[in-house]
Amino acid sequence: GIRRGNGKVARYRLAEEDVFACIDEARRRGYPAVAFQAGEVESEANTAYYERLLAKCCGLEVTLSLGEQTEDVYRRWKDAGAMRYLIRIETSNRELYGRIHPADCSFDRRLGCIRTLKRLGYVTGTGVMIGLPGQTLKDLADDILFFAREGADMVGMGPYIPHADTPLAARAAGGASDD
Taking 70 as the threshold, does the pLDDT of residue 107 lie above it? yes
Alpha-carbon distances, residue 107 vs 18, 27, 56, 88, 112 (angstroms)? 35, 38, 34, 11, 8
Which alpha helices (DSSP H) does 93-135 contain, by range? 94-100, 107-119
Amino acid at position 131, single letter? G
62: buried, middle or exposed (CB in 10 Å: 19+, 13-18, 0-12)? buried
**Higher model confidence: residue 130 or residue 165?**
130
> pLDDT tens digit string along 1-36?
566 677 777 888 899 999 999 999 999 999 999 999
- pLDDT value at residue 126: 98
- pLDDT value at residue 6: 74
pTM reported for the whole predicted model: 0.89
Q: Range with the lowest mean pLDDT among 71-75, 104-108, 143-147?
A: 104-108
Mean predicted confidence (pLDDT) in 82-91: 97
SS3 of residue 99 by DSSP = helix
Q: What is the mean pLDDT of the chain?
A: 91
DSSP secondary structure letters along 25-84: HHHHTT--EEEEE-----SHHHHHHHHHHHHHTTTSEEEEE-----HHHHHHHHHTT--E
